[in-house]
Structure 1
Amino acid sequence: MMSRILHSFVLETGAELLKALRAPEFIFPTLGMPVAFYSLFAIMIPGSSNNPDYLLATYGVFAVMGPAIFGFGISVANERDKGWLDLKLAAPSLGFSYIAAKVCSTLLFSSLSLVIIYLVAGFAAGVVLPQPTWALLLTTHILATFPFILIGLIIGFIFNANAAIAISNVIFLAFAALGGLWIPIMLFPQSMQSFAHFLPTFHLSEIALYVLGAPGERDLNYHILIIAIMSLVLLAATAFAWSKQRNH
């Protein structure tokens, strides 16, 4: 039984990677947009000497958000519309392999996007960090992928392909802009600063900034607790959407 699941997982993962490689319209924006934005704001118009370090933490969250939301939201919705998901669900033991393969593919592209930004930060932006800090920051950014994976799954299980594209774009841009990934939220009006506390991007970027040792007071336990609660709520919503899909 385990060998069958493993074999199914390997085949699904290979198919996911092959599908991604055949879609340059997904790869280039996913890998190129975060590093382009980081290079613009951290190198070309730095503004202050702290910008490259600060933006490394926030744009790392931005880098992992795209592959998760678009890779799941639009991809799953497309497969639902074409009937592929129904076919996969009809086959025994493939449900786990289907989700696990997409998670594996998403983590791979997220990690690749992070490596590109880290290389630019270290060699072009002059960011110097101890090796343990680099490793902890990378771990933090990779773990930040999972709440967005759940959001992507919810979108993919509920909406059709056309709606999923629009909703994924709105969520992606809103989370990035209002969560403080592009502009520090201390520059926002007070009402927008309060609203940011309801977004996972704000809390994940604050955790990354804490790991980086960026200036400012941050309650790490508070941010971790909020992310844990948000993740549990998203997991419950994903499970509900998955059950509705299976019973469809």
Structure 2
Amino acid sequence: MPSLALTHARFRILETIRIPIAVVGGAFFPAASMLFFVVPFAGDDATAATFATASMVMFAVMTSSLFTYGVGVSEDRSQPWDPYTRTLPAGPGASFAGRILSGLTFTTLSLLPVVLIGAFFTAATASWTGLLVAVGAVILGALPFTFMGLAIGYALPMKAALAVAQIIFFPLAFGGGLLSAPNQAPSFVETIAPYLPTRGAVELIWAAVGDFRVSATSMVSLVAWTVVMAAIAAWAFRRDEGARFH
């Protein structure tokens, strides 16, 4: 099973990188945000630059998860290859694992420019321990958006999936406080932010790389969003399986 999952992951990665703009596009907006907003306005302030870089990392992870899984899964469902692999004796597990591995690969590629810009063009700083903890925080923070993307992809046709992903990613980013410094967002954002998954996710990264105390409300909300999105993704997958293969 592991080797088969790696084969599926390799296939999906090669399929994507044959269209370079698909890879560049996922990294462009977070990197551009760093260059146009973080570097000139907060680049010389170590604390502000560190928190802003962490926010843009979460922005990149959220965007990549929603579009890689949401639009990618929906597009694959419309092609003959994906339905065929789900009828093979090996079952859908290896293909699904390969999809997750390829998604993690492109998520990593989307956030690397943000980290490099923060390291070389701003005063952002973090200890090696903080960076290691931040990696774990990114993985945990990515879970609700991964499940959200899978739910969108398995529940909707491609055009609808693309529209839904485009509609929800910016409100989640702005409402969760990704576009503001910690505790400096407009009052209505600070009111709703703890109840959105973006806030809990970015608070984990802020706490890993800087002096920030996470909110209990944000953590409970992050767990709740993760569980609910996982349940919806599982339901959407079973619904698609039943509708097309039974």
Relative to the length of structure 2, the TM-score reads 0.89
- Give 1:241's match in structure 2, choosing from 232, 236, 243: 236
Is the contact made by 1:179 and 1:185 (CA closer than 8 Å) also made in structure 2?
no
Q: Alpha-carbon deviation of 1:85? A: 3.1
Q: 2:23 — aligned with what?
A: 27
Tell me the distance in 2 between the aligned counterparts of 1:186 and 1:133: 21
Tell me the distance in 1 between the aligned counterparts of 2:182 and 2:156: 31
Q: Alpha-carbon deviation of 1:208? A: 1.3
Is the contact made by 2:183 and 2:190 (CA closer than 8 Å) also made in structure 1?
yes
Q: Alpha-carbon deviation of 1:48? A: 7.0
- Give 2:201's match in structure 1, choosing from 200, 204, 226: 204
Q: 1:72 — aligned with what?
A: 69
Tell me the distance in 2 between the aligned counterparts of 1:42 and 1:161: 34
Q: Alpha-carbon deviation of 1:222? A: 4.2
Structure 2 unaligned regions, length at least 5? none
Tell me the distance in 1 between the aligned counterparts of 2:2 and 2:207: 38
1:68-115 C-alpha deviation (Å, 9 max, x unpaired): 111111111112223433222211224111221111111112223333
- Give 2:158's match in structure 1, choosing from 153, 156, 161: 161
1:35-76 C-alpha deviation (Å, 9 max, x unpaired): 221122221222872321110121111111122111111111
Percent of matched pairs sharing the same residue: 23
Larger mean CA deviation between 167-176 and 136-145 belongs to 136-145
Q: 1:173 — aligned with what?
A: 170
Is the contact made by 2:175 and 2:193 (CA closer than 8 Å) also made in structure 1?
yes
Q: 1:42 — aligned with what?
A: 38
Q: Alpha-carbon deviation of 1:230? A: 1.5
Tell me the distance in 2 between the aligned counterparts of 1:17 and 1:79: 13
Q: 2:11 — aligned with what?
A: 15
- Secondary structure (helix, strand or coil) at the match of 1:90 reads coil
Asked if residue 127 in structure 1 is aligned to residue 124 in structure 2, the reply is yes
Question: Cα RMSD over matched residues?
Answer: 2.1
Q: Which amino acid aligns with 2:29?
A: M
Q: Which amino acid aligns with 1:79?
A: D
Larger mean CA deviation between 110-119 and 130-139 belongs to 110-119
Tell me the distance in 2 between the aligned counterparts of 1:88 and 1:147: 26
Q: Which amino acid aligns with 1:115?
A: L
Instruction: Figure out how many residues of one structure are paired with residues of the other and give that number.
Output: 242
**Aligned runs of 1:76-225 on 2, under 5 Å?**
76-184=73-181, 186-214=183-211, 217-219=213-215, 221-225=216-220
Is the contact made by 2:43 and 2:121 (CA closer than 8 Å) also made in structure 1?
no
Tell me the distance in 1 between the aligned counterparts of 2:29 and 2:236: 30
Tell me the distance in 2 between the aligned counterparts of 1:145 and 1:102: 15
Larger mean CA deviation between 25-34 and 108-117 belongs to 108-117
Q: Alpha-carbon deviation of 1:185? A: 7.0
Is the contact made by 1:34 and 1:62 (CA closer than 8 Å) also made in structure 2?
yes
